Structure 1
Amino acid sequence: MDTDVLKDDLREYLAAARAAVLWKLDGLSEYDARRPLTPTGTNLLGLVKHLTGCEMGWFGQVFARPLPGPPAWYGDDDAEDPNLDMWARPEESREDIVATYRRACAHADTVIGELPLDAVGHLPSRGPDSPGVTLHRVLVHMIAETERHAGHADIVRELLDGAVGRRTGSLNLPERDEAWWAAHRQRIEDAAATFG
């Protein structure tokens, strides 16, 4: 297979995953975009902020092409808050977090465009003598990472207001009314209860 075609395929999947994550913020209040909905604090803006760091690290740091002007929290190993990249502090606006994510993605896309898939980078945390990692491997990793968090975002958004789907106009679910979904959920609950 032509490596340019392969690179384009990988970029397309990464772009779709990025868009799915951002779409989950559409129409939400500031509170709902920030509020934790799991015992570990998973929230939508935190997922975007975390993915921002991933984009900057995997494409910028690994290939020695850091994003100019990174956010203050990036690279801050705060012993008091090891999850600093997983939530939005009150002074961090949604607009800034999303803009920084878009900037990190654009920078990553530049790196992807400039390097061949077999370009080798190094994980700074493992030192300069560590085995390298190829751009191909980083792209596959970031698609998996972003899709994983897009799944988290999908569940968090459903818990917030019932909105589901991959993107506008593509719910990827059977088209049924609210009563059908309530009955469906009850059917699943009843099946599970037989084992409880």
Structure 2
Amino acid sequence: MTTVWNAAPMPSFPPTFADQVIAQPAPAQFEAFLDEHRGALNGCLDGLTEEQARRSLVASRTTLLGLVKHATFVEKVWFDQAVTGRSRAEIGIPARSEESFILDDGDTIATVQHAHREACEASRRAIRSLGLDDILHGHPRGPLPLRWVYLHVLRELAQHCGHADILREQIVNA
């Protein structure tokens, strides 16, 4: 005897982030994932006091405010220096990555978030006309395809989002 299953049709669900991203061409998929992480990292400062944003809970210079400031540095290294070939001094960023976490007296939640949003927008403009296989020649590591740069920045932002989650949880629940 054969059993026939009369399966009910699947319910209709609203499109998910994944559904929306999969439907996009590859460069837009990378941008969507980067933007998700950019927004999460920038938003880690929302609702905090200036003291909380600057609080150091680890031996390194890592603070929530410093993470977002560093993310601005990352945007400028990979989507300005690597694309244009301008030096870090010309761009106005530290020579070394470790220095990008250092907070100045003028760094506030508002100024750091604003600088980060501006850097992200400048990044989008810088690569708008490029394809994933276009080679970027401006980074000291040497020529790299834009696809590699997207993946590298996505990996770095994902790691920093994890750091921010842990630090924020410790600060908010203190």
> Contact 1:47–1:87 (CA<8 Å) still a contact in 2?
no
What is the match of residue 75 of structure 1? 94
Moved over 6 A (4+): none
What is the match of residue 121 of structure 1? 136
Alignment of 1:1-196 (within 5 A): 5-64=25-84, 72=92, 74-76=93-95, 83-126=98-141, 130=142, 132-162=143-173
- Tell me the SS of whatever aligns to 1:125: coil
- Tell me the SS of whatever aligns to 2:25: helix
Residues 69-110 of structure 1: per-residue CA shift (max 9 Å, x gap): x875x1345xxxx73311322222322211111111001111
Separation (CA, whole Å) in 1 of partners of 2:147 and 2:100: 25
What is the match of residue 16 of structure 2? none
Q: Which amino acid aligns with 2:73?
A: G
Separation (CA, whole Å) in 2 of partners of 1:95 and 1:116: 33
Unpaired runs of 5+ residues, structure 1, are 164-196
* Aligned-residue offset at 1:33: 0.5
* Aligned-residue offset at 1:123: 4.4
Give 1 or 2 for the bigger CA radius of gyration.
2
Identity %: 32
After TM superposition, the score normalised by the length of structure 1 is 0.69
Q: Which amino acid aligns with 2:146?
A: L
- Tell me the SS of whatever aligns to 2:62: coil
Unpaired runs of 5+ residues, structure 2, are 1-21
Q: Which amino acid aligns with 2:45?
A: L
Structure 1 residues 31 and 145 mapped into 2: Cα distance closer, same or farther (>3 Å)? same
Separation (CA, whole Å) in 1 of partners of 2:91 and 2:110: 13
Separation (CA, whole Å) in 2 of partners of 1:58 and 1:160: 30
* Aligned-residue offset at 1:65: 6.7
Separation (CA, whole Å) in 2 of partners of 1:89 and 1:15: 26
> Contact 1:55–1:105 (CA<8 Å) still a contact in 2?
yes
Q: Which amino acid aligns with 2:152?
A: H
Q: Which amino acid aligns with 1:75?
A: P
